[in-house]
């Protein structure tokens, strides 16, 4: 369990809040923890950003959810893992409902 540090615990707490559909707690927790993640941890950061995007959608922050999704897509490119891509697909599916939004339209136009 060498990889579990305070930041990882905070990420897990934020992901739990997101799964429980408690967007205010999830967004606050995930924002703080993700701010300490470096882009060199692209796979993990892209994966965790999808939880933030889901929480933002639940909190009706659609434009920001689109921005976070776009950043997650950027980070996931070139990463040799399908897990972030699968999670991004889930976010993109939820964003379909808001395709009239300019930010969402941008995400949809760049996602396969």
The pLDDT averaged over each successive group of 10 residues in the chain (112 residues) is 82 96 97 93 95 98 98 92 95 97 95 87
Instruction: Report the pLDDT value the prediction gives residue 5, as an integer from 0 to 100.
Output: 86
Instruction: Report the pLDDT value the prediction gives residue 1, as an integer from 0 to 100.
Output: 60
CA dihedral 55, 57, 62, 67 (to 10 degrees): 50
Instruction: Report the pLDDT value the prediction gives residue 78, as an integer from 0 to 100.
Output: 83
Strand segments (E) across the chain: none
- DSSP for 14-39 reads HHHHHHTT-HHHHHHHHHHHHTT--G
CA dihedral 40, 45, 46, 51 (to 10 degrees): 180
């Amino acid at each position: 369990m060498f990889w579990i540090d305070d930041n990882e615990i905070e990420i897990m707490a934020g992901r739990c809040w997101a799964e429980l559909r408690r967007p205010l707690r999830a967004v606050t927790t995930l924002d703080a923890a993700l701010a300490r993640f470096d882009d060199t941890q692209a796979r993990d950061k892209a994966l965790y950003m999808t939880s933030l995007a889901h929480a933002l959608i639940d909190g009706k922050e659609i434009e920001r959810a689109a921005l976070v999704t776009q950043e997650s897509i950027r980070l996931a490119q070139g990463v040799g893992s399908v897990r972030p891509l699968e999670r991004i697909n889930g976010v993109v599916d939820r964003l379909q409902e808001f395709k009239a939004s300019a930010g969402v339209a941008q995400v949809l136009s760049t996602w396969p």
